[in-house]
Amino acid sequence: MPSSPCPPKRTRSLVCCCGPGSSYDVTRQHLSTYAWDHYGDLDPDETGEPRPGSVLRVLERGLELAGDLPPGPILDLGCAVGRSTFALAGGGDRLVLGVDLSFPMLRVASEALRRGRVRYPRRRVGIVYDRRELPVRFEGLEKVDFWGCDAIDLPFPAGTFAAVVGLNVLDCVASPHGLLASLPRLLAPGGRAILSTPYDWSAAATPFEAWLGGHSQRGEAAGAGEPVLRALLTPGAHPAAVDGLRIVAEDRDLPWRVRLHERSSVEYRVDLVVVERL
């Protein structure tokens, strides 16, 4: 379906009233960035650079490193607008649950699941957006659902999941250590978690004292987050190390491209770690 350069009249009024920097504007920027990366490869109008699909490329690498998984469902933590959840369901007969705390993003994911279409505002520049709407079709939709949940306070019995996927979510939660500490309970014995992060810390999302690294260049790791994460996932390597997990594979330098608007994009180098519940 063609995109419209102008939003409906009611939306234009809302944009003008709220203005740049408002919560409405921030939400639209997030939807633009995430939905472009998740679904832009399916949009025939997306022909320029940068190319979308970083979430799928990192997920593919994580699954490759994770290897064979025990039987059971998969949890997609911080699923955003849902493309990674659909990709996880398309490769087999497992149930896959995507959870996120952003209802605007879950609305995009749910509409793709239930109506077979994706609609989102694609940022052109400033507060100017183009409305994108395109049909989507994925395999295994009957095995997918989306829930609104806090990633560090999940309502599931112990040992529920064969795999937990958390792509670029560690630096977006209030307690990264709390998320790591929840993995042994969520995973079935032999289950594996695929975690990636660019360590892009923000005090708006994560309190300063909860960051994994990024505090001071005077420390032993010179502020790097990678040694802290690995120590927390290695029994006995850190006073707050998580019991019951071990690192089985890692890739420290994966590109993840984020589109901001027509003339701006950011490329992260994400750290990918696969851990197993002992």
pLDDT in tens, 240-263: 999 999 999 999 999 999 999 999
Contacts 24+ apart (CB under 8 A), 240-247: 240/177, 242/177, 242/180, 242/181, 242/183, 242/184, 243/184, 244/184, 244/277, 244/278, 245/180, 245/183, 245/184, 245/193, 245/275, 245/276, 245/277, 245/278, 246/275, 246/276, 246/278, 247/273, 247/274, 247/275
Query: Residue 4 pLDDT > 70, yes or no?
Result: no
Mean pLDDT of the chain: 92
Question: Mutual orientation of helices 9-18 and 23-39 as an angle, nearest 10°?
Answer: 120
pLDDT in tens, 158-170: 999 999 999 999 9
All domains of the chain, ordered by start, with CATH? 9-277 (3.40.50.150)
- The model carries a pTM of 0.91
Q: What is the pLDDT of residue 49?
A: 85
pLDDT in tens, 179-217: 999 999 999 999 999 999 999 999 999 999 999 999 877
